[in-house]
């Protein structure tokens, strides 16, 4: 056996196959032409292993062709002569462009004597994967399918995944062989599942291609979870780095099986997508995000004169944004990895948003607590000169308008300086117009500049300087011993109203407010008196006193209302009350700073702000918790929808398979009925023709017997008649003889015609029988061809 000894390159594969009677299937498509030596060596090594391991081993070899092409019609014993013939047959093996893998597998499993099937291929099946899988599961009958997948470094993940799943379902083995074109042409790199870390030679988790320095990859960033295009760099003899911020991703021999954040981005991997695929799309600035392919189309390329149309793809990102990209800028990935990437990116976005919210709230709280938020001079925070001049002019104009308005108020002669100084009214600081929100926001975080206001600043009466409560001197209506419990009226009571109501005929109170601390309602039709008079309860005399019991001067509140037509204030101030006039007449410098007068330093506001921040954080935590619960719910619903879709798809396949079986049964029954009808017609024609021939020959025999009786009848007639008749009688007898002779001649001619007709009938009957046999053979042949073709092409 020295002529057939093969080097032990396939020792691991052949040793894992324990069956003795094998049917080997070779892929002789055009792509396998480069592996012709691999195929020949593998088949010979496997047969040689069977020959050495078992004396009763048998084998057969078939190919992927449209017609069934095999080494033998049945299994052959493993002998030296058969192995030599197999070697010569493999030398004459041809490769074709169009092959049928399903027909070859069906033919291999159709041989009932075989214990298993061994398949050698380098790509996916030529038919639909679900049909091949369904058909193999039905006809394998417990026999395993061993698959040997050959590739030259770049592996088709879909094809390898399909053959691996099919071999596992049939309880066979799966092997990936790498063809390196070196001294050792073949190297087994995978046996069923993933190998150990030490046996892997990968640059990333999605492929078996060895990593080399300068190789283009898509690497995942730790900041946002997106992928960026980078190059592999050799940093040592045993490690490669992908330089990404903030830290590089190290790829070493011990960590290869854990690297799932790297994908190859070579020209052989990109652009191979179809509608509905999950991809990584080049969105902007070298950033790749997960997306779904919506449509592939051609568009007109105006820049390239040689090529009129270019192929583009329309994708939708995970956040439902649609964009049209070139076909070479998308990379297809598995759906499970796509979902993991989307989940990581959403989680990072939520974390980043939470961090920004926390930073914003902390900055607001620190700014509110800081001294720079409450400046003594709002102009000290202005950066530019233009803004500072604008704010200065605005404040000075407001102060000037306020001062002019105060001077324009003409008080009654009853109110004098002495009265104002001797009043017992509690004074409050005047509420100046506050700065607008946009002016305050622009004034934050600005450098301080010292600026001293002039005399135009607003001066209020001090809250700490109180005057002794003494009644006014020039008001004669009220007595000095004023008692609020005992009300005295300036005028007599009216007879038509109550004792505490001022007489309506007197108009001295027209224009006064209803109460001392509120403003009157707007006039109705320009007449305030009519509006007050229409009220059910007119104001009483006690309503015309100040909060401290000081009598209100006559007809003065009407003059204290600011003009409505002149809207010159930044924010409309409250109306001027009597107490405000008194406070302004007694001018005193305020002891509080300007910032406190504006009202920014408010402990209650600070507590409210802190409470609001706590509530916001609590609501954010609750929202995140609800979001996580919603994610789990959505995930369960999506899993259920996927299961339902998968079950519906499987049910559709089953329904199609059932329809095909029903169609085959109908065609078979129709062919049987047609064949039975043909048999009945042939038998009927044969029996009818036999009956007709029998009737004809019976008539011929009867006429022949009658003709033979004519001479005997003549002699009998002569004996009965006696002597020879006379001439007249003789003529009559002669005439009878001639007539009988003519009739005999006619009968003989007719017999001759019947004999010829019999010969023609026999010839026609023979031709009909031959034609019927020919039709029957053709029907059987067509039935065999239809059955084989439907089983190979239609059965799922």
Domain boundaries of the chain, sorted by first residue: 10-192, 215-248+257-333
User: Which helix (DSSP H) or strand (DSSP E) does residue 725 occupy?
Assistant: none
Residue 514 pLDDT exceeds 50: no
Instruction: Examine the pLDDT at 6 and tell me if it is beyond 50.
Output: no
Least confident range from 181-185, 274-278, 546-550, 778-782: namely: 181-185
Weakest mean pLDDT among 94-108, 498-512, 600-614: 498-512
Q: Are strands 262-264 and 249-252 parallel, antiparallel or unpaired?
A: unpaired
More confident residue, 424 or 691: 691
Options 3.10.450.50, 3.90.850.10, 3.40.50.410, 3.30.930.10; CATH of 10-192: 3.40.50.410
**pLDDT class of 118 with cuts at 50, 70, 90:** very high
Least confident range from 234-248, 295-309, 380-394, 611-625: namely 234-248
> How far is the C-alpha of 122 from the C-alpha of 481, rounded, in Å?
119
pLDDT bin (cut points 50, 70, 90) of residue 405 is: low
- 596 vs 462, residue with greater confidence: 596
Terminus-to-terminus CA distance in the chain, angstroms? 44
Q: What is the mean pLDDT of residues 351-379?
A: 64
Concatenated DSSP letters of 122-177: SS--SS-HHHHHHHHHHHSTT--EEEEEEESS---HHHHHHHHHHHHHTT--EEEE
* Alpha carbon distance 219, 589 (integer Å): 70
Q: Which residues contact 276 (CB under 8 A, 6 or more apart)?
A: 292, 293
Cα 539 to Cα 515: distance, rounded to the nearest angstrom: 8
Model confidence pLDDT, tens digit, residues 650-677: 788 778 878 888 888 888 888 888 888 8
In this predicted structure, the answer to whether residue 720 has a pLDDT above a threshold of 60 is yes
pLDDT surpasses 80 at 145: yes
Residue 719 pLDDT: 75
Q: What is the average per-residue pLDDT within 306-321?
A: 74
Of all residues in the chain, the percent with pLDDT exceeding 70 is 57
Which pLDDT value is given to residue 236?
53
pLDDT at 404: 67
Residue 632 has pLDDT above 60, yes or no: yes
Contacts of 397 by beta carbon, 8 Å cutoff, 6+ apart = none
User: What pTM, to 2 d.p., does this model score?
Assistant: 0.29
- Residue 139 vs residue 560, higher pLDDT: 139
- Report the chain's mean pLDDT, rounded to a whole number: 68
476 pLDDT higher than 60: no
The answer for residues whose C-beta is within 8 angstroms of residue 265's C-beta and 6 or more apart is: 216, 217, 218, 229, 331
Contact in structure between 304 and 227 (CB atoms under 8 Å): no
Check pLDDT > 70 for residue 558.
no
| Nearest Cα to Cα of residue 738 among 716, 714, 715 | 714
What local confidence, expressed as pLDDT, does residue 210 receive? 47
Band of residue 723 on the pLDDT scale cut at 50, 70, 90: low
The correct CATH number of 215-248+257-333 out of 3.30.750.24, 3.30.200.20, 2.30.30.30, 3.30.465.10 is 2.30.30.30
Summarize the confidence of residues 311-337 as an average pLDDT.
84
User: H or E element: which one contains 651?
Assistant: helix 603-708
3-class SS of residue 345: helix
Beta bridge partners of 187: 178
DSSP H or E stretch at residue 413: none
Q: What is the DSSP letter of 589?
A: -
Q: Which residue has the higher pLDDT, 727 or 705?
A: 705
The DSSP line for 448-494 is -------TTS-----SS-PPP----SS--SS-SS--SSS---SSPPP
- CA-based nearest residue to 515, from 496, 491, 498, 532: 532
Angle between helices 101-110 and 129-139 (to 10 degrees): 0
Q: How many CA atoms lie within 13 A of 148 on its CB side?
A: 28
In the beta sheet, which residues pair with residue 116? Answer: 22
């Amino acid at each position: 056996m020295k002529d057939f000894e093969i080097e032990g390159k396939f020792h691991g594969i052949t040793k894992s196959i324990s069956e003795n009677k094998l049917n080997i299937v070779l892929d002789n498509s055009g792509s396998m032409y480069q592996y012709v030596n691999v195929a020949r060596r593998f088949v010979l090594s496997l047969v040689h292993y069977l020959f050495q391991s078992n004396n009763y081993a048998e084998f057969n070899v078939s190919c992927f062709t449209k017609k069934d092409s095999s080494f033998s019609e049945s299994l052959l014993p493993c002998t030296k002569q058969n192995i030599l013939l197999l070697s010569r047959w493999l030398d004459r093996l041809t490769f074709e462009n169009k092959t049928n893998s399903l027909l070859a597998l069906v033919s291999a499993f159709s041989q009932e004597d075989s214990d298993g099937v061994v398949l050698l291929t380098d790509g996916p099946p030529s038919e639909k994967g679900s049909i091949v899988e369904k058909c193999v599961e039905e006809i394998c009958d417990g026999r395993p399918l061993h698959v040997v997948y050959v590739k030259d470094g770049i592996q088709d993940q879909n094809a390898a995944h399909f053959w691996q799943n099919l071999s596992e379902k049939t309880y066979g083995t799966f092997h990936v062989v790498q063809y390196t074109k070196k001294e050792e042409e073949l190297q087994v790199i995978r046996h069923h599942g993933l190998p150990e870390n030490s046996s892997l030679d990968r640059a990333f988790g999605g492929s078996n291609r060895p990593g080399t320095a300068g190789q283009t990859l898509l690497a995942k960033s730790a900041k946002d979870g997106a992928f960026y295009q980078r190059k592999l760099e050799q940093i040592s003899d045993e490690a490669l780095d992908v330089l990404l911020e903030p830290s590089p991703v190290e790829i070493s021999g011990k960590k290869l099986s854990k690297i799932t954040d790297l994908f190859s981005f070579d020209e052989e991997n990109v652009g191979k997508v179809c509608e509905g695929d999950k991809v990584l799309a080049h969105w902007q600035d070298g950033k790749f995000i997960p997306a779904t392919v919506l449509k592939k189309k051609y568009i007109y390329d105006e820049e390239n004169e040689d090529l009129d149309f270019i192929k583009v793809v329309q994708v939708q990102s995970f956040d439902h944004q649609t964009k049209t990209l070139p076909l070479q800028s998308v990379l297809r990935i598995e759906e499970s990895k796509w979902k993991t990437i989307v989940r990581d990116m959403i989680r990072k976005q939520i974390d980043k948003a939470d961090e920004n919210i926390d930073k914003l709230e902390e900055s607001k709280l620190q700014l509110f607590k800081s001294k720079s938020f409450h400046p003594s001079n709002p102009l000290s925070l202005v950066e530019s000169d233009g803004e500072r001049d604008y704010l200065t002019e605005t404040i000075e104009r407001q102060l000037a308008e306020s001062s002019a308005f105060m001077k324009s108020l003409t008080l009654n002669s009853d109110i004098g300086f002495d009265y104002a100084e001797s009043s017992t009214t509690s004074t409050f600081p005047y509420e100046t117009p506050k700065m607008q929100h946009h002016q305050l926001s622009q004034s934050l975080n600005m450098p301080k500049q010292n600026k001293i206001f002039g005399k135009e600043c607003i001066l209020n009466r001090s809250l700490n300087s109180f005057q002794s409560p003494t009644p006014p001197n020039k008001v004669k209506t009220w007595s000095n011993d004023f008692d609020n419990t005992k009300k005295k009226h300036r005028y007599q009571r009216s007879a038509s109203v109550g004792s505490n109501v001022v007489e309506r005929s007197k108009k001295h109170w027209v224009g006064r407010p209803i109460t001392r601390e509120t403003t009157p309602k707007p006039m109705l039709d320009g007449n305030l008196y009519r509006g007050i008079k229409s009220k059910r309860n007119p104001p009483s005399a006690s309503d015309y006193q100040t909060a401290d019991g000081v009598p209100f001067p006559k007809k003065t509140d009407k003059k204290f209302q600011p003009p409505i037509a002149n809207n010159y204030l930044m924010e409309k101030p409250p109306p001027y009350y009597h107490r405000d006039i008194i406070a302004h007449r007694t001018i005193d410098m305020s002891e509080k700073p300007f910032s406190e007068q504006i009202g920014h330093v408010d402990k209650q506001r600070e507590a409210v702000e802190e409470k609001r921040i706590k509530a916001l954080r609590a609501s954010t935590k609750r929202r995140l918790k609800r979001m996580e619960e919603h994610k789990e719910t959505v995930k369960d619903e999506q899993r259920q929808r996927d299961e339902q879709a998968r079950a519906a798809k499987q049910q559709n396949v089953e329904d199609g398979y059932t329809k095909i079986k029903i169609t085959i049964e109908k065609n078979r029954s129709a062919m049987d009925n047609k064949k039975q009808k043909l048999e009945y017609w042939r038998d009927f024609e044969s029996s009818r023709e036999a009956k007709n021939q029998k009737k004809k020959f019976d008539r011929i025999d009867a006429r022949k017997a009658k003709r033979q009786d004519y001479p005997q009848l003549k002699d009998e007639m002569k004996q009965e008649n006696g002597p020879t008749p006379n001439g007249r009688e003789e003529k009559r007898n002669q005439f009878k003889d001639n007539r009988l002779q003519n009739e005999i001649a006619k009968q003989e001619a007719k017999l001759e015609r019947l004999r010829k007709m019999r010969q023609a009938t026999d010839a026609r009957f023979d031709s009909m029988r031959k034609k019927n046999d020919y039709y029957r053979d053709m029907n059987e042949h067509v039935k065999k061809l239809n059955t084989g073709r439907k089983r190979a092409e239609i059965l799922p």
